[in-house]
Copies of this chain bind each other. A is one copy, B any other.
Amino acid sequence: MAYYIGVDIGGTNLKTGVVDEKGNIISEFSVPTGADRPQDTVLQDIIGAIKNSIENSKVDLKEIRAVGLGSPGAIDTENGIVIRNYNLGWKDFHICEKISAALNIPAKLANDADAAALGEVVAGSAKGAKSALIITLGTGVGSGVVINEKIFPGEFGHMVIAYNGRKCTCGRRGCFEAYSSATGLINMTKEAIEKNPGGILAETAKLEGAVSGLTVFNAADRGDETAAKVIDEYLEYLACGLANLINGLLPEVVSLGGGIAKQGERLLAPLRVKVEREVFKGLKLPKIVTCTLGYKAGLIGAAMAVRNF
């Protein structure tokens, strides 16, 4: 049997694991990233963590074919270089070359969101789908397109859906991310509170100490109509962006991940109705579900991305 190493380079933790060719994790290992240290010091920890996960797996080194690294930031997949990783302060880091040399195993880089998307397709919510779209609704919005278990590079989180709309962190205005991220929902919640400072939503926020992505759901649970309207508006924008991508990419499955997706069917049920209204008439609707692998998606996907390497 062939095995692959998956590495998820996070801002907080470095996760490594040995994964079999079907996407099962045989062993995993995690260390704090220590992002304030020089890149070559962090590299030593990555190599150490990989060695640890190999040892724990009891898999013969000869059976390990490749190392797949999932990294955020700007990366050059062809040459295995992290061009820029703002969270870690990395710059022009030839990480694949160094890992290959240290372990004598070929190494390859993938975008971390793309790797997570591939993980969901190989072993999670979109298992078996010929084409899948994985959308992460976190601090930002990330997109991953996987067709025939192959990652398609590119990022739709900064697709403008509202020309001249809300300012986005990327510099454009009206991006999908500016509306459909947790940050977008928090901004919509804050605006609703400003307009109605004496309402249940405002009160809920006060009780919680700060507005989070959960505040509006908690207030809605208390029967607040303002909160229900904010959720509805949030879902309208999310459906708009999803419909753009469903019409354009015709995925079989759309999986939603990230903090907001934890709302599950409460989010999915009304979302499906809105998406159906927005997509081309007669189009076979994709399954719209939530991601199931959590942090393991990135680890499994990074490993699966090097299966044919």
Contact = CB atoms under 8 A, between A and B. Distances in A.
A247 B153 CA distance: 9
B163 A280 contact: no
A108 interface: no
Contact of A161 (B158, B161, B170): B161
A280 B156 contact: no
A161 B247 CA distance: 14
Interface in A118-156: 143, 147, 152-156
A172 interface: yes
B282 A74 contact: yes
A278 B172 contact: yes
A162 to B, nearest CB: 4
A250 B153 contact: yes
Interface residues of A, number: 32
Contacts of A237: 163
A280 to B, nearest CB: 7
B240 A154 contact: no
Interface string A220-250: 0000000000000000010010011001111
Contact of A158 (B84, B156, B158, B247): B247
Given A74-B282, A83-B282, A282-B83, A163 B240 contact: yes
A155 B247 contact: yes
A259 interface: no
B170 A174 contact: no
Number of copies: 2
A164 B162 CA distance: 8
A184 to B, nearest CB: 12
A158 B282 contact: no
A270 interface: no
A81 interface: no
B282 A159 contact: no
Nearest to A237: B163
Given A237-B163, A282-B83, A154 B74 contact: no
Interface of A: 74, 83-84, 143, 147, 152-156, 158-165, 170, 172, 174, 237, 240, 243-244, 247-250, 278, 280, 282
Report the 10 A-B pairs with minimum CB-CB distance, sorted nearest first: A162-B163, A159-B244, A156-B248, A154-B248, A154-B250, A154-B249, A160-B240, A153-B250, A161-B163, A160-B161
Given A158-B280, A172-B278, 10 more contacts: A74-B282, A143-B248, A152-B249, A154-B247, A154-B249, A159-B247, A159-B248, A160-B244, A162-B162, A163-B163
23 contacts: A143-B248, A147-B152, A154-B250, A155-B247, A155-B248, A155-B280, A156-B244, A156-B248, A158-B247, A158-B280, A159-B159, A159-B244, A159-B247, A160-B243, A160-B244, A161-B163, A162-B162, A162-B174, A163-B163, A163-B165, A163-B174, A163-B240, A172-B243
